[in-house]
Amino acid sequence: MKKSLFYLSAIALSVSLVACQDAEEETSNTNTSDQTAADEETTNEDEDSPESADITIEGLGDHYHTGDTIELTASLNEDVDYDHWHWYIKESDQTDWEVASGQQGDSFSEEASVDGLEVKATLYNDDHEVFAESEPVVIVIDDHHGHDEESRQIYQGYFEDEQVQDRELSDWEGDWQSVYPYLLDGSLDEVFEHKAEEGDMTPEEYKDYYDIGYETDVERIVIDNGNVTFQQDGQEYSGDYEYDGYEILTYEKGNRGVRFIYALSEEAENMPQYIQFSDHIIAPEVSSHFHLYWGDNREELLEEVTNWPTYYPSNLDADGIIRDQLAH
């Protein structure tokens, strides 16, 4: 009888120990699951709320003219709920940034008046702490022919002979695109409408006039250290040119222009013997665009005044070319 009681007690103890062990494992598994879920929740929260982001400023023009409207937009690479923006500006001779007044949200709009002006965008979080800040961009103002009366007169073709000076081919060095394709696709219609508002022809008549002027099949010109390359119908032709003086021309309206002439120094396949530049500039100065005449007869080229293929920097898009033409 005593042996039976002993065995029953041992069995009960064993069952109790197993039950406790199972309970401990269950508790441990439950705690582990809870902790894992908490960790995952924290991770998800971190992913939903980035600690920082990159800001890119878009819309910067290659250059502006005095009085143009500068329009910039700040673009974030992350989706966030913050919308507290400030724009800051700093002139080239200043060391401290100042808040650009009147600029709200992720866009900046201001009249171009200061060359070298730096602009940056800053986004703040809900605690008014800096969340992200862009790299500064620099506003370049290039009025090309100036705004003083003498420069305007020269641009219009009124100057004295003694003001004209020799120019190096480096004044036109760079990679240039023909403006003619922009006329053909309608991009320049805005320019012709603007001319019609101030001129004596309709927009259609201006377009026809410039169609004759701009027409060319040389879509790109690269000038580098005295070497000139024409890109024409998918082919490239190159030659070296040297300075051959200038000629002053008088037009029917009474104004004048200067042709700066360069001659082929060595025979080169498919390259003209002469190229002549006209860009409303009469002394050494880097050109922003130009009209070009080419052929094998120097004197005959000087008589060409109706077809003047025109070239702008190849890195300008249609908007940049339009902005430049509207400024003149």
Tell me what percent of the residues of the chain surpass a pLDDT of 70. 83
Average pLDDT over residues 59-68: 82
Regarding whether 179 and 117 lie in a shared domain, the answer is: no
Regarding whether 109 and 199 lie in a shared domain, the answer is: no
Residue 28, domain member (yes or no): no
Regarding whether 281 and 257 lie in a shared domain, the answer is: yes
Regarding whether 177 and 125 lie in a shared domain, the answer is: no
Residue 15 has pLDDT above 80, yes or no: no
Tell me the CATH number at 124: 2.60.40.10
Contact by Cβ (8 Å): 279, 145: no
Residue 145 pLDDT grade (very low, low, confident, very high; cuts 50, 70, 90): low
Residue 74 pLDDT grade (very low, low, confident, very high; cuts 50, 70, 90): very high
Regarding whether 305 and 164 lie in a shared domain, the answer is: yes
Average pLDDT over residues 262-274: 96
pLDDT at residue 279 in the model:
95
pLDDT in tens, 159-171: 999 999 999 999 9
The pair of three-digit structure tokens given for residue 314, joined into one six-digit string: 């190849």
pLDDT at residue 48 in the model:
55
Regarding whether 134 and 230 lie in a shared domain, the answer is: no
CA 327 to each of CA 29, 64, 128, 302, 320: distance values in angstroms, whole numbers, following the listed order: 75, 9, 41, 28, 11
Closest by CA to 286, choosing from 177, 116, 170, is: 170
Number of domains making up the chain: 2
Residue 10 has pLDDT above 50, yes or no: no
Regarding whether 94 and 167 lie in a shared domain, the answer is: no
Q: Which of 91, 109, 139 is the last residue of a domain?
A: 139
Residue 144 has pLDDT above 80, yes or no: no
More confident residue, 194 or 26: 194
Regarding whether 153 and 271 lie in a shared domain, the answer is: yes
Please count the CA atoms within 13 angstroms of the CA of 280 that sit on its side-chain side.
18
Regarding whether 237 and 108 lie in a shared domain, the answer is: no
Residue 326 pLDDT grade (very low, low, confident, very high; cuts 50, 70, 90): confident
Regarding whether 212 and 74 lie in a shared domain, the answer is: no
Residue 227 has pLDDT above 50, yes or no: yes
Domain of residue 97: give its range.
Answer: 55-139
Regarding whether 153 and 109 lie in a shared domain, the answer is: no
